[in-house]
Chains A and B, each alone.
Chain A
Amino acid sequence: MTAPTTDPRPEERVRRDTGNWAQPVDRLSAAGVTGAKDDAVTGKRVSGPLQGFGQLWQKTFTVRLEGVDISPEAAISTWKERFPEFWPKGQRFYAPLSGIAPGEVALLEIAPVPGAPVKLSTGVLVLYADEESFTFMTPEGHTLSAWITFSARRDGDVTIAQAQALERPADPFDEIAYLLGGNRQNNRFWQATLANLATHLGVAAPTVDVQVVCIDRKRQWRYVRNLRNSASIRTVRRSLGAPFRKLTGRG
């Protein structure tokens, strides 16, 4: 005799996505990451697009994996496993030892401009991850208060890989840098990343489509105090102090 099939109770259905989300956390810890020169994340809170200072942008980068027989799940699995390899040259992503999974923290070293000798130290929290997508959220101090979701989907016979960011420059300093070229540099960064992914998966000449929309032109002056956590200012201060620390044997 077969037991009657009934709908699960609402609370059971609610838990369908539970394992995909990071557990609530007050302060981040990058204890599970090795290799980075600097940990600018531990002790910081996360800071999403609602907590940033500058204009709110939505950026969508897509690449069609033409001629490659790969499912969205397989594309995302490869993306998660080899995420640092797809970043443009000169940028470092220190993945957590247990991989890209909900609640894990990764550390980053990013050149503020291509070829710059100074690197910004920051990181991300893996906010969400499932078989077809994963999302990073930035910590306080990052130049952008953002979420970025990496996903893949099927469009007919072709799998499409996508990165979609919802981002505000974190503070007035970052907003100026963003307007003066950071925005375009950020676009080039993700275009290069998607092209690298597509090339790795076997696309001969990948074309990355970019859509950029300013969702909110207003600046959030109540977040002007994000300056106190600024990774940019911290990096400038450390760089200026480096010769002195070297002379005094402290650096």
Chain B
Amino acid sequence: MTATVIELDQGGPASILRIVGDITSGSEADLMAAYGLATANGASAVILDFSKLEYMNSGGIGLLVTLLVRAQRGGGRLVATGLSEHYRQIFALTRLDEAIEILDDEAAAVAATNA
């Protein structure tokens, strides 16, 4: 198992969090801190880019649910992008796809959040 690295890109109106490596329940502190930074400048939309995600267990998907609830509570918008077919299936299986907007790539997500 490898560590989670979360890259933050605040170049546009939406903040982008690129998740690199593994996401498990052990990623909670890093992910929540990164989300806090991503929204600190007032960004109402956060794009989660999973294109470099290598591994996710059920603790990781649970973490995404708590992050989604946190975003909704704050009136924010969460968009997922870069999901492989495998992770799209997991989002569908867990019905996370009904609650989080999924777009193919970062460009589409940026365009959607700017619209």
Which of B7-15, B35-43, B58-66, B105-113 faces chain A?
B58-66
Which of B53, B56, B73, B86 has a CB less than 8 Å from the CB of A216? B73
Question: What residue of chain A has the Cβ atom nearest to residue B24's Cβ?
Answer: A133
Taking a contact as CB atoms under 8 Å apart, the answer to whether B57 and A58 are in contact is no
Grouping DSSP codes into helix (H, G, I), strand (E, B) and loop, the B interface class, with mixed when no group exceeds half, is helix
Q: Is A169 an interface residue (CB 8 A)?
A: no
Taking a contact as CB atoms under 8 Å apart, the answer to whether B62 and A24 are in contact is no
Given the contacts A50-B96, A51-B95, A215-B66, A130 and B86 also touching, CB distance less than 8 Å: no
Query: 1/0 contact trace for A125-163 toward B, CB 8 Å?
Result: 001101001010100000000010101000000000000
Q: How large is the interface on B (under 10, 10 to 19, 20 to 34, 35 or more residues)?
A: 20 to 34
Report the minimal beta-carbon distance from A3 to chain B, rounded to whole angstroms: 22
Report the minimal beta-carbon distance from B102 to chain A, rounded to whole angstroms: 14
Query: 1/0 contact trace for B19-63 toward A, CB 8 Å?
Result: 000000100000000000000000000000000111111110110
Taking a contact as CB atoms under 8 Å apart, the answer to whether A58 and B98 are in contact is no
Question: What residue of chain B has the Cβ atom nearest to residue A217's Cβ?
Answer: B73
Taking a contact as CB atoms under 8 Å apart, the answer to whether A128 and B57 are in contact is yes
Question: What residue of chain A has the Cβ atom nearest to residue B60's Cβ?
Answer: A17
* B84 CB contacts on chain A under 8 angstroms: 10-11, 14
Q: Which of B55, B65, B89 has the most CB of A within 10 A?
A: B65
Complex Cα distance A56/B99, Å?
A: 15
Taking a contact as CB atoms under 8 Å apart, the answer to whether B93 and A127 are in contact is yes
Taking a contact as CB atoms under 8 Å apart, the answer to whether B57 and A56 are in contact is no
Complex Cα distance A128/B69, Å?
A: 22
Which of B52, B54, B61, B93 has a CB less than 8 Å from the CB of A24? B93
A–B Cβ pairs within 8 angstroms, 15 of them: A14-B55, A20-B57, A21-B93, A22-B93, A23-B93, A56-B69, A130-B57, A133-B57, A133-B59, A137-B94, A147-B62, A149-B25, A164-B62, A166-B62, A215-B66
Additional 8 contacts, C-beta under 8 A, given A14-B54, A24-B92, A48-B65: A16-B54, A20-B57, A23-B89, A24-B89, A51-B95, A58-B66, A127-B58, A216-B73
Query: Which residues from chain B sit less than 8 Å from chain A, CB to CB?
Result: 25, 52-59, 61-62, 65-66, 68-69, 72-73, 84, 86-87, 89-90, 92-96, 98-99
- State the 3 A-B residue pairs at the shortest beta-carbon distance, nearest first: A135-B58, A128-B58, A13-B54
